[in-house]
Chain A
Amino acid sequence: MKPGASISRRIEVLREASYQAVPSLSIERAKIITECYKKNEGKYPTPILRALCFKELCLNQTLYIGKGELIVGERGPRPKAVSTYPELTCHSVEDLRILNSRERQRYMVSEEDIATYEREVIPFWKERTQRDRIFSILPDDWKRLYSSGLFTEFAEQRAPGHTALDGKIYKTGMHGFRERIAMALKKLERKNSSSAQERKNMLQAMDIACEALILFAGRHASLAMTMAADSRDRGDIAGAEELESIASVCRRVPANPPETFREALQMYWFVHLGTIMELNGWDAMNPGHLDQHLEPFYLKDTSSGILTDATARELMACLFIKVNNHPAPPKVGVTARESGTYNDFTNINMGGIRPDGTDAVSPVSFLMLETLEELHLLQPGFSVHIASLTPDRFLRESCRVIARGYGYPSVFNPDIYVKQLIRQGKSPEDAREGGCSGCIEVGAFGKEAYLLTGYLNLAKILEITLNNGTDPVSGETVSVKTGDAAGFRSFHELYGAFLKQLKYVIDTKIRVNHRIERLCAEWMPAPFLSLLIDDCIEKGTDYYNGGPRYNTSYIQCTGLGSAADSLSALRKHVFEDRKWTMENVLDALSCNFEGYEPMRLFIVNRTPFFGNDDDLADDLAVRLYEDLFSLIDGKPNTRGGVFHMDMLSTTCHVYFGAVTGALPNGRKAGRPLSDGTSPSQGADANGPTAVVRSLGKLDQVKSGGTLLNQRFSPSMMKTEEDRKKLASLIRGYFDMGGHHIQFNVVDTETLRKAQKEPELYRDLLVRVAGYSDYFNHLAPSLQEDIIGRTENDGI
């Protein structure tokens, strides 16, 4: 069977298998790593030990080549078999049993494997995992804030990652990297200082990692040849030829630069696998501007006649299915609560601009859109990048796919993120080669380690301000004393106290983060990952230790809308209208508004809230945003870079909401906070243009990304005309300096929830008949009708 000869059938089968595969745990990696540490620890410097472990994995992991696959390689022995990383966090027997039995995000693991883990893995890592090291240095003041849910810490059980690639792997294979390593070593030849020795060790480790990945690919080639021989014996000549072609691809890449479209995809996939086998960095791995990287191969192969659009789509689908085969490594504790998803956040950038500043949309961009539309799997995530110079045709095609309601592609504005990156100190070329990875965070692809350090709970900071440094949920004093809120005479006084709390929490987080960064650099160097990011090789320095050209630390601020709305409510009703005293409101909050429903509803219905293009509330959001910027931006980290603020929440607004009591904006205890820079749930009642105008008031160039979720009914995007208007909405937001927008095209389930809790869904627009209205405003009978109609739409 030639590639492309039966695209739908092949992809249908592979897609279905990937979709149906049940996530499970594989303890193979843990066993190999534990053995390697037992054998080699203490004999080698840490980077070399880590490289040797990587090599052992490449040499000994069970390989998998599935029937019909054109792109091969798995992290585990089969699709969705997820490795563990005991050197970072060693799951206990109890953890494993929970993973095996919990209702959501379950990972199957056999009792036999649990027993092996208990016998061979757990004892070795007792009190010596990275998590143990980190927890041993955490001071009490930090722990108090952390336990109360004022912030989270990314490094406590996963390696920092947030890496996206530029185009270098397609121009130079592992052999090319080895040449660069040899040159760097040569420069160090006659130097004998301890720092030169460290660099030599690091370079040697990187060299071992190059060799290891080549061996890994070679094993795939051999396996494919063995399988091909079997097929031939069975008389399946076509099958045998297909396997032989896999073998020949795996012999070329990743050792050498790819020559064909297919080799380019396989090249990326081996590199992706190498990264996620080495460590479990957040956001797995991101290919960056994949359409730009593939474009030269597409042009060459289509003009020489060895590639058609159908085969190009099929090959890309094979890669995307591979990404879907890799759920996120299982988390524990707080991290499981704040990020409860199988998604490992690989985000593929499409469109946008080229490093020279010209339009990057190519035929590959369109083919990729078609492919993701056809696949619509959980992973990878896709984003379209719409600069002012991006052709309308690409935006319109993107809107058509958005209207399908899969939740992607999300939409980014390169004009703004290039400015963000330049403001942070990147060169224009490096900035333009940058983009967005994971959720919305910006980085200079292939040249930067932009590590997310954890989320910051703005609503909780207001809560402890209102309680003089005490967490009312636990009753413990967790922060500094800033005065009894009942005694605040003015909004100015309240805001001043809030700022003091904010500063204390941020400073505590940054101070401890410095020590955590050092632990990552010292104990968990990543020689393979370091190959991929300039200038780790030239500096002979690790990815986690300042090796990259740019080294950013982000703090992700969550709950801007909740905090701004709460401040707005206090300002209006307590300090301006004097409808209630501060004491009245504090009483209501301490009772979670029980017995205070009229007050709660009055606040909900009669307070200026962020997201309505009402300066009264928007100015507070702007003020909060500017204060966050001045408290975070530019603080040094230990890697030669600085901290910046990022405005994303992923799913952390749900966890933060769960640990935050009732808020002055009328939100009850335990309910989710606002997400990203979106308005609070249901607070925006003036439609999407008002929302984006509110967001447009934030100077988004100062952040490392903002996030705006908008919920639309499918009927608002039904016709070509509707989607043109959606495209204009996006363009308008981006004209105002918006960074990102994404659309939830609602399903029936959401509409049902909206019926039960209308207050949270006030912003839900639906098309009725000849006009549009808020779902919430409709009579129950009409709501039923719309729900029925949505299903009939078949979206």
Chain B
Amino acid sequence: MAKSLGPVKRKFSPWTDPSAVPFIRFENVTKRFGTFTAVNDLTLDIYEREFFSLLGPSGCGKTTLMRMLAGFEEPTSGRILLQGKDISGVPPYRRPTNMMFQSYALFPHMSVEKNIAFGLEQDNLPKGEISARVEEMLKLVKLDQFAKRKPAQLSGGQRQRVALARSLAKRPKVLLLDEPLGALDKKLREETQFELMDIQHTLGLTFLIVTHDQEEAMTVSDRIAVMDKGIIMQVATPAEIYEAPSSRYVADFIGDINILEGTISKTEAALGAPGAIHIDSDGIAVKVEQECQAVQGDKVAFAVRPEKVRISPEQPADTSVNAVYGEVWDIGYLGDFSVFLVRTADGRIVRAAQANVSRLVDRPITFGDMVWLTWSADAGLVLTR
């Protein structure tokens, strides 16, 4: 069966256009529950037709932020604007947003088609139009044969599709997805991610998704907001978040990364200009080619992704910078990749990932081997926060 590969990624970046008007705007929004501050003075713009992710650990305030947009919670202070209009005080049933719930929240006493028709019936649309729209939605999520079934007679994946169809049926201006794929197994989740992107592209809607799964956020989003303790740590495209995290928190939260704490020993360029930065991290000398945001003597962190670190049993020509010597402490075999945990003389662990390009079962590097880890000057980055 030919599988849909999702839409071709379009050139879409309204956030770089200063004249673009945001579709949704959170303006200094704060939400407190008793003494607990779930969302803290948060400002965020989301653009029309954007697939936007709120990513963070549980309790970071991402779900609260979404529930405020849906109308289930009111901000303690601040404003939420939808198409330039303040929507505070508007009850959920009058908001042009629809939500797909984490638990799906399907009505157990109604059939699949009744569930999907529910929202349309509230708008008092003519019967013919409702049934046409229901049929269209059933086709969209490939559940045509299941129209008469009750939710209890469906599998988890099918229920998830009904929930999606129900939330899409009213063609909301914004679709809110609260951990939509959390209950699905990995294979089905990946398939559904591409389908979601397909649907979002076809219908031209704005999607706001809450997730704690970074891979999911990376796959589907135009932009990601990484949240922690009620504030936004970084808002950027998936590639920017991964390759240029703005802080130790974001770097550590997204993917695997080596972080070496150290002090800047020398910079070869003026502040704000590109050039080489030298960092001393307890004897490991690091050289980074980067636009410099710090000066000599600053405490910083050097961060480099494991897949950008080369591992070799042979000593490289230049061991003065960006080279670490150590013992292979542990190996994680992931099939496509192997991750080597290398222990330096002073006990620090540096990780290197290597694609398993050959089908050798016995790897040339194994436990206890002494190896060299090296990386190029543009492989990593300096984090000041």
Our verdict on whether A and B bind, yes or no, reads no
